[in-house]
Amino acid sequence: MFRNSRALVTGGVGFIGTNLIKKLLKTGAKIRATYYERKPKFFTDRVEYIKADLRMEKDCQKVVSGIDYVFMCSGYSSGAEEIETSPMSLVTPNIVMTAFMLKAAHEANVKKFLFVSSCIIYPPSNVPLKEERGHDDPLFDKYFLVGSMKRYCEKLCQGYAEKIKKPMPVVVVRPTSVYGPHDRFDWQKSHIIPAIIRKVVERHDPLEVWGDGTSIKDLLFVDDLVRGILLAMENINTFMPVNIGSGKQTSILDIVTTIVRVDNYDNAKIIFNTSKPTTAPKVIIDVSRAKKMLGFEAKTNITEGIQKTVEWYKQNMI
């Protein structure tokens, strides 16, 4: 599907975008990628990188010109503390970027557009939630604004896919908790796994973990996500959001103890800081649609994924 086609990856120096480009290069696609603040360091001899502010309509129009497939991986992101203290800082820029990119792609007659959403849109649940439950209330209170933003962006995607005279195929994927190489390891924007990996490698004593350790995550190694994204782009031609996850539940405590074990941090003193922001207590995601429609199953277990991530961090970030 992608050989000799022109693919655009927005957010091309970000976590998901970088890993997606790595995989797309193997398909024979001709790749253009956008960046904003951080300059590209990888694949610069094989990818056409364009500096762009996707909050500006003219920049969106420029980057989609001549493109067949758009992978919308860009977005303003933040860590748990910023979501807690300034959640509105994530809402407006992401909605504006999505709206302008969809409009520009439609006007440029791209063949298909893929939007990376999130399982943050689901309400807390003790039973696996299918895609149809993605806009159910109530949202986890601390995720209300960010989750609502993702829901609205999905509605924009549906509008272009179904509600206009000349529809544009739009694919929506909803990843669970993604981790792996090229993630953000800075204190301000890192999520739980990169933050703990950095603390373990730096041998923090005590090893502080935000929350009480009981929250449950569906962990997804980034290589598995990328494979799911490409399968979705290849196989989905109608508006049909799809969950991409492992289908397995792992507690924060189990994540921390796995990282400690993998990096041989013997006798680590783990303390839980319940005054700091925490994640939803439990959101269980049904991944049967991805298996049935895409033939997708996550292949990387937590120990293997953590080992690869720790190794990458040590080789590239220290």
Q: What is the pLDDT of residue 75?
A: 82
What band does 194 get if pLDDT is binned at 50, 70 and 90? very high
Quote the mean pLDDT of the chain. Answer: 93
How far is the C-alpha of 318 from the C-alpha of 307, rounded, in Å?
Answer: 16
Q: What is the pLDDT of residue 114?
A: 98
**Highest mean pLDDT of the ranges 135-149, 159-173, 274-288:** 159-173
CA-wise closest residue to 297 among 233, 256, 250, 247: 247
Tokens of 64: 């989609």
CA-wise closest residue to 18 among 74, 80, 91, 67: 74
- Evaluate whether 111 touches 48 at the Cβ level (below 8 Å): no
Tokens of 315: 């080789």
Q: What is the pLDDT of residue 61?
A: 98
pTM: 0.94
What does the buried/exposed string (b/e) look like for 273-308 if buried means 16 or more CB atoms within 10 Å of the residue's CB? Answer: eeeeebbbebbbbbbebbeeebebebebebeebbbb
Q: What is the pLDDT of residue 276?
A: 81
- Evaluate whether 140 touches 124 at the Cβ level (below 8 Å): yes
Burial of 11 (0-12, 13-18, 19+ CB in 10 A): buried
Residues 144-190 have pLDDT tens digits of 998 999 999 999 999 999 999 999 999 999 999 999 999 999 887 78
Checking if the pLDDT of 277 tops 60, the result is yes
Can you name the CATH fold of 6-183+220-245+285-300?
Rossmann fold (3.40.50)
How far is the C-alpha of 66 from the C-alpha of 163, rounded, in Å?
Answer: 24
Residues 60-92 have pLDDT tens digits of 999 999 999 999 999 876 555 555 666 677 899
How far is the C-alpha of 117 from the C-alpha of 95, rounded, in Å?
Answer: 12
Q: What is the pLDDT of residue 108?
A: 98
Q: What is the pLDDT of residue 287?
A: 97
Q: Over pLDDT 70: what percentage of the chain?
A: 97
Q: Residue 177: beta bridge partners?
A: 219
Name the pairing type of β-strands 207-210 and 177-179: unpaired
Whose structure tokens read 């024979």?
28
Residues 38-66 have pLDDT tens digits of 899 999 999 999 999 999 999 999 999 99
Checking if the pLDDT of 106 tops 80, the result is yes
